[in-house]
Amino acid sequence: MKIAIIGATGHAGSAIFKEALKRGHEVTGYVRHPDKSVGILPPDADLIQQDAFTLTREQLTGYDAVIDAFATTVEQAYLHIDLADHLIHELRNTDKPRVIFILGAGSLKNGDHTLYDTLKKDPHAAAFINTPLNQFRELQLLRWTDNVNWLGISPSANFQPGPATAYVRGKDELLKDDSGKSVLNSDTLAVALLDELENPTIKQARFTARNA
């Protein structure tokens, strides 16, 4: 597959980039600061310095999959929604590429409420809550979109750097192990996502995963 990754030097984007390369896919990264790839991506990684908000329909439809692994500051977390809206606008009434959004865990159900409902009660929530809130809204936007071939993936509550493990996959519930921990390594997310891209099982839906 020809795969484009927006935010290829970030936490999730770099893990997905390397996993896709390992599987023999043709991967291009769209980044704001190519110098940040040093020590993160292979020296010969195919990177294009371009603002994601300037990506055009012509560019996007040249790929089989476009992965939005865009990251931003808490103060500008609304850009998650803005970029999703831009990609949707450019790709209306297309089936190719499959466009994938790395969503937050906040929208996952945690008992009779969402993880976001729990997070916003944290006494330190003001320092971080804007990100899960806007990623929750991003998912809502996607769920209103029926003429773009989109896919979402939400990590576990604790999304951390780490090697790939076996994984458990779910849909809309926050996944926890027997000790109550909800953890997903970045490389495990990459494996789960590439497995879905190579063998599609869902369309216009979101799934989640945790370390097994």
What average pLDDT does range 49-67 have in this prediction?
98
The partner residues of 47 in beta bridges, in order of sequence, read 29
Q: Write down the pLDDT at residue 95.
A: 97
Distance CA 25, CA 27 (A): 6
Residue ranges per structural domain of the chain = 2-211
Q: Would you place residue 67 in the very low, low, confident or very high pLDDT band (cuts 50, 70, 90)?
A: very high
Average the pLDDT over 180-194 and give the result. 98
Mean of per-residue pLDDT scores for the chain: 97
Nearest Cα neighbor of 87 from 73, 70, 71 is: 70
d(CA 173, CA 179): 16
Residue 208 has a pLDDT of 98
The pLDDT of 43-55, averaged and rounded, is: 98
Which CATH code is given to the segment(s) 2-211? 3.40.50.720
Q: Looking at residue 99, what is its pLDDT? A: 98
- The CA distances from residue 128 to 74, 75, 77, 169, in Å, are 6, 9, 10, 26
pLDDT in tens, 119-169: 999 999 999 999 999 999 999 999 999 999 999 999 999 999 999 999 999
pLDDT range class, residue 33, cuts 50, 70, 90: very high
- The predicted model scores a pTM of 0.97
pLDDT tens digit sequence for 82-104:
999 999 999 999 999 999 999 99
Using 50, 70 and 90 to split pLDDT, how confident is the model at 116? very high
pLDDT band of residue 7 (cuts 50, 70, 90) is very high
